[in-house]
Amino acid sequence: MKKEYWFVIITYIAMQLSSIVGVPIFMLIGASTGMTADELEQKSAAYWIVFSFFVALALILFLMRKDMKEKMDTSNQASVGTSILWAIAGVFLALTAQAVAGIIEQSLGVQPESENTQQLIAIIYKVPMVIFVTSVIGPILEEIIFRKIIFGSLHKRFNFFISAVLSSVIFGLAHGELEHLLLYTAMGLTFAYLYAKTGRILVSMSAHIAMNTLVIIIQVVNREQIEKLLDTAQAFIGGLL
């Protein structure tokens, strides 16, 4: 693995853990605003998510600058038109993978609701700017980390199946919801397939962004209708980021 890839991974991990320090700092800054303790904590968490994700994205793009400038071997890449079609199809593949994984989880007694998703939705209602982070920046970072770096590095040594499963399980574990590991792993397998099939990280990235955006729209804009759906439909949109 390239040296800069390790720095990218360290940056991503630091971003994920940074709220331990960042949120209390933001709470101190906003202590004089007159908000209740709960509201102050929620808004501080929301603003720190926005701040930390933007900083992490800037640092990671800087660290990956040489990678982006290097001339890539296009012989294994799908054409632009084909890539666009796979990006569109990838959204439906990801949603289908979630649906199947969700049904399996429910059959095992796992509750369909994702705690991560519900927490994010609550934060979005407080600070709508978080929508851009969860819909766009999050997927960009995750595709760089879990598909381009981790899957890509593994795929140089192992076959697709082993590389995809290992990177997808790591992707699932990174979300911190062991009960939904199958759901996140299924998503990871889908995006790994898109990346391997087209040779373009932008394809899996676009599908991931579109899927997250769709989930946000359904969860936020149509929240009341969502609550009336059957449990299987809730499982269908259970995973986020």
Q: Compute how many other C-beta atoms are within 10 angstroms of the C-beta atom of residue 113.
A: 13
219 and 237 in contact (C-beta within 8 Å)?
A: yes
146 and 175 in contact (C-beta within 8 Å)?
A: no
Q: Active-site positions?
A: 142, 175
**Is the C-alpha dihedral spanning 148, 153, 156, 159 positive or negative?**
negative
Best CA proximity match to 83, nearest among 226, 200, 168: 200
Q: How far apart are CA 78 and CA 199, in angstroms?
A: 7
Q: At 209, list the tokens.
A: 């962004």
**Is the C-alpha dihedral spanning 87, 85, 192, 181 positive or negative?**
positive
User: Can you spell out the DSSP letters for 152-170?
Assistant: HHHHTTS-HHHHHHHHHHH
